[in-house]
Amino acid sequence: MLGPFAVVRVGDTSLDYMEVREYTGSSEVTSRHYAFLVSELEFDEIFSRIRERNLPYWADPRHERRGVINGWDDGRGVYFDDPNGHVLEIVTRPYGSIATAPVV
């Protein structure tokens, strides 16, 4: 478990789950966070498409550092929203892979 997340690994992919105790009883889909570990080349390709489409992006999950990418764990990472309001993240290094913790 890293922070509030329980990490479930599926092949080269991980699904990070966080328990939410509040249930509204609504069938409405709520925003979720999906992180993808990608190679440096894949990051460049994805980030290029984000910029070409003028999509807003952030260095952090709280959307406080707009227009920059992060360098956590000596890699690169960026957050952006999909059209349904889900938070997508691409990273080139798994969090915790070196001794530097993300500064949020």
Looking up residue 43, the CATH number of its domain turns out to be 3.10.180.10
In 3-state terms, what secondary structure has residue 80? strand
Domain extent for 47: 6-17+31-91
88 pairs with which residues across the strands?
34, 80
103 located within any domain: no
Segment 49-92, tens digit of pLDDT: 999 999 999 999 889 999 999 999 999 999 999 888 899 999 99
41 located within any domain: yes
12 located within any domain: yes
82 located within any domain: yes
pLDDT of the residue at 57: 98
Distances in whole angstroms, Cα of residue 92 to Cα of each of 22, 28, 57, 84: 32, 32, 16, 24
In 3-state terms, what secondary structure has residue 75? coil
78 located within any domain: yes
Confidence tier at 1 by pLDDT (50, 70, 90):
very low
Q: What is the mean pLDDT of residues 42-47?
A: 96
pLDDT of the residue at 102: 53
Name the domain count of the chain.
1
